[in-house]
Chain A
Amino acid sequence: MVTVSMTVNGKQVSGEVEPRTLLVEFLRYNLGLTGTHVGCDTSQCGCCVVHVDGDSVKSCTMLAVQADGSSVTTIEGLAQGGKLHPVQEAFRENHGLQCGFCTPGMIMSAADLLQKNPSPTEHEVREWLEGNLCRCTGYHNIVKSILAAAATMQGAARAAE
């Protein structure tokens, strides 16, 4: 067993894990943060996307020990001060989810897209989502949600200027 320490959703955490423990397993089982899901075993589905040091990462593709010392944000940590992140709000407003299982990964992935590319085209959104599978929505309202979130965030940024 090895000890890992990291910041998760702004809190310092540590735990004892087997070296083979994946980051997603550490989040789900050691920390009880079950919002991050596991939908496959080949890093194809993206249900487990979290942010590690600001970038979206499939947490099934990273060992917990590799995240030692990092700052991790999961879906539980995205809303700030009780206010939903604009991407979360847009998914709710635009019916961007049905069963909700892929949703945390989709939202975390989309939030990273919009911090890297604040006003993506529909085509760019669809290409970015290539690593996230959804079986319910046909992606239609997910794409719509992300474009709506981009517009909201752009509007908020302009208002702040």
Chain B
Amino acid sequence: MVEKGIGVRVVRKEDQRFVTGKGRYTDDINQPGQAYAYFVRSPHAHARIVSIDKASAESMPGVLAVLTGEDCAADGLGNNVCGWLVKSKDGSPMKMGPHPLLAQGKVRYVGDPVAVIVADTYQQAKDAGEALEVEYDVLEPVVSLADAHDAGVLVHDEVPNNLVYDWELGDKAAVDAAFAKAAHVSRIDLVNNRLVPNAMEPRAAVGHYDPGSDSFTCYVTSQNPHVHRLVMSAFIGIAPEHKLRVVAPDVGGGFGSKIFIYSEECVVTWASKKIGGRPVKWTAERGEAFISDAHGRDHITHAELALDAEGNCLALRVNTKANLGAYMSTFSSSIPTYLYATLLAGQYKTPAIYADVQAYYTNTVPVDAYRGAGRPEASFLLEVLMDQAAREIGMDPAEFRRKNFIPKDAFPYQTPVALVYDVGNYEATLDEALRLADYKNFPARRAESERRGKLRGIGISCYIEACGIAPSSVVGSLGAGVGLWESAKVRFTHTGKVQVFTGTHTHGQGHETTFAQVVADKLGVPYEDVEVIHGDTDKTPVGMGTYGSRSLAVGGEALVKACNKIVEKGKKIAAHMLEAAEADIEFKNGQFSVAGTDKSVSMAQVAFTAYVPHNYPQGLEPGLEESAFFDPPNFTYPAGTYVCEVEVDPATGVVQIVRFVAVDDFGNVVNPMIVEGQVHGGLAQGIGQALLEGAVYDEGGQLLTGSYMDYGMPRADMLPDFEVVTVSGTACTANSLGVKGCGEAGAIGSPPAVINAITDAIGVRVEMPATPEKVWRAIQSTRLARAAE
């Protein structure tokens, strides 16, 4: 047995360097002759650029180049792209305006990059940026999503009513028919608040042109360096793909925000050539990150749920307006459509669902995927609405959900919104969560709180999500511009050590550990002998990167396939070494043996023989290295139940989370310690969304929450000790490991649990973030209403 194989709580390989300050993040990379870039950004939400006078900046000390959108155009650089073409109800393609690297003609949000200054030092670049003279003709902006359609102001002249697409999913006629015979209809209007991802490492890039080889290297804070290379090559046109190396070294958190191809990494790479090949570095200041990293969420939704007289869900009807900001970011179009409406069945057997989504441009920072990406919005809507419906018909929220669950013997289950859930057992996670949360004794705890003048509430959320988006043929038919496979390479060395190359990228998820566990387990080699290499397009095979909780389910399975090929080849070599027929060779725990005998050779002996093939099967290639690709047949569908218990101080509106129980079914688990850690982090972000995070713009399009002084981030003293349990799960059928994604669940399942708990405590629902002020006002309004009765 491999000691640190699948299922073991192995301490992480990567931590030694991180706890000693030896991590290597993009901003830690300094090269001889390195110059620095500062981006001059629009101070206006919407304006025409009348003129840019470079002279005053160019004459500043240390300045090497001042480059604008005109320079990009003159060099033939292409525009940034959105990689997913969504079609409107009428079949027409979504309407997009151009997204230049540096603004051309107009600026469209506060933070829109207008020019780059390259200088010997960052301070010199910044000082010159202050001196750059840009004359603007300020225009009226459209800031509010609610007003975007009829604002009379166009973010892009070619997009009428700022409407990018008007999309639908589901059977509208069936839904209308179901509503016509409903005994009860629950209706809700809600907002999914706009968030700023805030990975702790600000985005950064170092571009370097090497005149000798006429090639470029770009170090960048990326979750998917190969996708960066593809877009920077094929669409931006910086260099042909084989002349561009993209390296994503240690990356300090992503949460979606580092998937996207941004202007800055493209511009510094291009600028390095403009200044003769000196490396050019840019690192975002935090204030800059707030106005340049893609934001998340930002929906306004009206929904209706039809029930029969017994409390069975008959149909769900949803209308959502989604804010996409000023430009279409890399995957933005897919988030409020294919990653949102497809999840609206939740864990329930609601037979008819119809959703339509209108996506709008506004003069705000572009909006794209943020941890969960579409699925938190679906889960929040559905779970808040289910709670409301249960209250309206006088049923316990847990029992109402149970009544409507897809039963465990109904899988595979075709939902009315396109997805086929492969496996699930929703009652199991509900039961375990209710037990751990001591749900049945809640009334006693509430009474105890009341005696202390506090309001106590309990909230449930039964989430489902879809991870590892696939298969490529389906996503392609829905408009995706890329395939969503993953690749892997496994290489033995002469001495029996193993190098593992993956196209995924780890930026906190611990792949260097879990992938080594998988390979050690499959090949029967010591975990310590396996090294996982990722994040460099010159070292690793092609890949699609890490997002949507895909790495283990897709990339891990590619690794398994490569390991299987190694074993198959190893059997041929072992058969020759053992003078036996290949069909008689068995492989187990790192040993090839002849069935029914005590004759065996180890994997290390086989690897050595493969590289020193003095006595070797005729016709077999030397070497022991195999590559594999994996394109999954389906998503994975993690699901679970979260229970949040809160105590609200009616005097201040402060919400204290007194207990949070998360019970998840992630199928099989490779490293429970890491999986629990992923849930903890997701919960914190989801609780942050529920209680304090929210990007706020003023009417003029200035971001009011533009720093950690203004944007509330969860801190240690406002979070509880989480109770996180991974049940012995239903193994996923879309990969041989039986694993499901776990990275986003916490952020998807927690906001509705928190809000439902607050609603239970104070008797009225407040919009997220449920700040003390909002909660206090809601309590006052219910008291006034009661007093008036």
Contacts of B685 in A (CB 8 A): 135, 138
B23: Cβ under 8 A from any A Cβ: yes
- Tell me which of B200, B682, B714, B715 contacts A101 (CB under 8 A): B200
State the Cβ distance, B30 to closest chain A Cβ, in Å.
Answer: 8
CA distance A9 to B215 in the complex (A): 40
Q: Is the CB of B199 within 8 A of A135?
A: yes
- Tell me which of A93, A101, A136 contacts B25 (CB under 8 A): A101
A65: Cβ under 8 A from any B Cβ: no
Q: Is the CB of A129 within 8 A of B252?
A: no
B786: Cβ under 8 A from any A Cβ: no
- Tell me which of B16, B199, B717 contacts A99 (CB under 8 A): B199
Q: Is the CB of A136 within 8 A of B717?
A: no
B69: Cβ under 8 A from any A Cβ: no
Q: Is the CB of A40 within 8 A of B28?
A: no
B335: Cβ under 8 A from any A Cβ: no
CA distance A134 to B684 in the complex (A): 10
State the Cβ distance, B566 to closest chain A Cβ, in Å.
Answer: 30
Contacts of B285 in A (CB 8 A): 41
Q: Which residue of A lies closest to B750 (CB)?
A: A138
Q: Is the CB of A79 within 8 A of B708?
A: no
Q: Which residue of B lies closest to A146 (CB)?
A: B716
- Tell me which of A37, A84, A101, A138 contacts B681 (CB under 8 A): A138
CA distance A20 to B21 in the complex (A): 25
State the Cβ distance, B482 to closest chain A Cβ, in Å.
Answer: 25
Given the known inter-chain contacts A79-B20, A95-B673, please indicate yes or no for A44 contacting B15, CB distance below 8 A: no
A122: Cβ under 8 A from any B Cβ: yes
Contacts of B14 in A (CB 8 A): 100
Chain B interface category by residue count: 35 or more
CA distance A44 to B707 in the complex (A): 9
Q: Is the CB of A98 within 8 A of B509?
A: yes
CA distance A67 to B334 in the complex (A): 51
State the Cβ distance, A89 to closest chain B Cβ, in Å.
Answer: 8
Q: Is the CB of A99 within 8 A of B200?
A: yes
Binary interface encoding of chain B residues 8-51 relative to chain A, with 1 for a CB under 8 A from any of its CBs, else 0: 00011011111111111101101000000000000000000000
Query: How many residue pairs at the A-B interface have CB separations less than 8 Å?
Result: 179
- Tell me which of B17, B22, B508, B715 contacts A136 (CB under 8 A): B508
- Tell me which of B19, B27, B709, B717 contacts A91 (CB under 8 A): B19
Q: Which residue of A lies closest to B201 (CB)?
A: A101
Contacts of A103 in B (CB 8 A): 18-19
Given the known inter-chain contacts A39-B286, A47-B200, A107-B19, please indicate yes or no for A122 contacting B721, CB distance below 8 A: yes
Given the known inter-chain contacts A79-B20, A141-B680, A142-B716, please indicate yes or no for A133 contacting B12, CB distance below 8 A: no
Chain B, interface SS category: loop
CA distance A6 to B200 in the complex (A): 29
Q: Is the CB of A76 within 8 A of B707?
A: no
Q: Is the CB of A41 within 8 A of B287?
A: yes
Q: Is the CB of A92 within 8 A of B12?
A: yes
A88: Cβ under 8 A from any B Cβ: yes
State the Cβ distance, B152 to closest chain A Cβ, in Å.
Answer: 37
- Tell me which of B510, B673, B681, B709 contacts A135 (CB under 8 A): B681
Given the known inter-chain contacts A99-B508, A137-B681, A138-B722, please indicate yes or no for A41 contacting B707, CB distance below 8 A: yes
CA distance A89 to B28 in the complex (A): 24
Given the known inter-chain contacts A37-B201, A126-B716, please indicate yes or no for A95 contacting B674, CB distance below 8 A: yes
Chain A, interface SS category: loop
Q: Which residue of A lies closest to B252 (CB)?
A: A101
B683: Cβ under 8 A from any A Cβ: yes
Contacts of B677 in A (CB 8 A): 95, 98, 136-137, 140-141
A interface residues, how many (CB within 8 angstroms):
57
Which residues of B, 244-271, contact A by the 8 Å Cβ criterion? 250-253, 255
Q: Is the CB of A99 within 8 A of B251?
A: yes
Contacts of A36 in B (CB 8 A): 21
State the Cβ distance, A16 to closest chain B Cβ, in Å.
Answer: 13
A125: Cβ under 8 A from any B Cβ: yes
- Tell me which of A20, A47, A107, A129 contacts B715 (CB under 8 A): A129
State the Cβ distance, A152 to closest chain B Cβ, in Å.
Answer: 14
Q: Which residue of A lies closest to B684 (CB)?
A: A138
State the Cβ distance, B662 to closest chain A Cβ, in Å.
Answer: 11
- Tell me which of A42, A76, A126, A133 contacts B200 (CB under 8 A): A133
Q: Is the CB of A139 within 8 A of B719?
A: yes
A118: Cβ under 8 A from any B Cβ: no
Which residues of A, 86-135, contact B by the 8 Å Cβ criterion? 88-89, 91-93, 95, 97-104, 107, 122, 125-127, 129-130, 132-135
CA distance A114 to B220 in the complex (A): 36
The CB with the most chain A CB atoms within 10 A, among B251, B510, B684, B722, is that of: B684
Q: Which residue of B lies closest to A89 (CB)?
A: B19
B507: Cβ under 8 A from any A Cβ: yes
Q: Which residue of B lies closest to A104 (CB)?
A: B21
CA distance A132 to B708 in the complex (A): 11
A4: Cβ under 8 A from any B Cβ: no
Contacts of A57 in B (CB 8 A): none
- Tell me which of B199, B286, B716 contacts A129 (CB under 8 A): B716
Given the known inter-chain contacts A75-B20, A76-B20, A99-B252, please indicate yes or no for A41 contacting B12, CB distance below 8 A: no
State the Cβ distance, A107 to closest chain B Cβ, in Å.
Answer: 6
Contacts of A47 in B (CB 8 A): 200
Q: Is the CB of A134 within 8 A of B200?
A: yes
B638: Cβ under 8 A from any A Cβ: no
- Tell me which of B12, B199, B509, B709 contacts A44 (CB under 8 A): B709
B713: Cβ under 8 A from any A Cβ: yes
Which residues of A, 38-55, contact B by the 8 Å Cβ criterion? 38-42, 44-45, 47
- Tell me which of B20, B30, B251 contacts A88 (CB under 8 A): B20
A143: Cβ under 8 A from any B Cβ: yes
Binary interface encoding of chain B residues 701-745 relative to chain A, with 1 for a CB under 8 A from any of its CBs, else 0: 000000111000111110101100000000000000000000000
Contacts of B716 in A (CB 8 A): 125-127, 129-130, 132, 134, 139, 142-143
CA distance A42 to B719 in the complex (A): 23
B56: Cβ under 8 A from any A Cβ: no
State the Cβ distance, B415 to closest chain A Cβ, in Å.
Answer: 31
State the Cβ distance, A68 to closest chain B Cβ, in Å.
Answer: 20
The CB with the most chain B CB atoms within 10 A, among A18, A20, A74, A97, is that of: A97
Contacts of A45 in B (CB 8 A): 200, 286, 708
Contacts of A143 in B (CB 8 A): 716, 721
CA distance A36 to B20 in the complex (A): 10
A153: Cβ under 8 A from any B Cβ: no
Q: Is the CB of A97 within 8 A of B18?
A: yes
Q: Which residue of B lies closest to A90 (CB)?
A: B19
CA distance A99 to B14 in the complex (A): 9
Contacts of B707 in A (CB 8 A): 40-42, 44
Q: Is the CB of A100 within 8 A of B23?
A: yes
A33: Cβ under 8 A from any B Cβ: yes
Contacts of B683 in A (CB 8 A): 138
Q: Which residue of A lies closest to B285 (CB)?
A: A41
Q: Which residue of A lies closest to B29 (CB)?
A: A34
Q: Is the CB of B200 within 8 A of A129?
A: no
Contacts of A136 in B (CB 8 A): 200, 253, 508, 677, 681
- Tell me which of B15, B251, B255 contacts A97 (CB under 8 A): B15
Contacts of B468 in A (CB 8 A): none
Q: Is the CB of B200 within 8 A of A138?
A: no
18 A-B pairs with C-beta separation under 8 A: A38-B27, A42-B708, A45-B708, A47-B200, A88-B19, A93-B11, A98-B508, A98-B509, A99-B250, A100-B17, A100-B18, A101-B201, A130-B715, A133-B713, A138-B683, A138-B722, A140-B684, A143-B716
Which A residues have a C-beta under 8 Å from some C-beta of B?
A: 18, 20, 28-29, 32-42, 44-45, 47, 74-76, 78-79, 84, 88-89, 91-93, 95, 97-104, 107, 122, 125-127, 129-130, 132-143
What are the 10 A-B residue pairs with the smallest beta carbon separation, nearest first?
A35-B21, A101-B252, A100-B18, A138-B684, A99-B508, A44-B708, A75-B21, A98-B508, A138-B680, A34-B28
Beyond A40-B708, A101-B201, A139-B716, 8 extra complex contacts between A and B, CB < 8 Å:
A34-B25, A44-B707, A44-B709, A84-B20, A101-B253, A133-B715, A135-B255, A138-B719
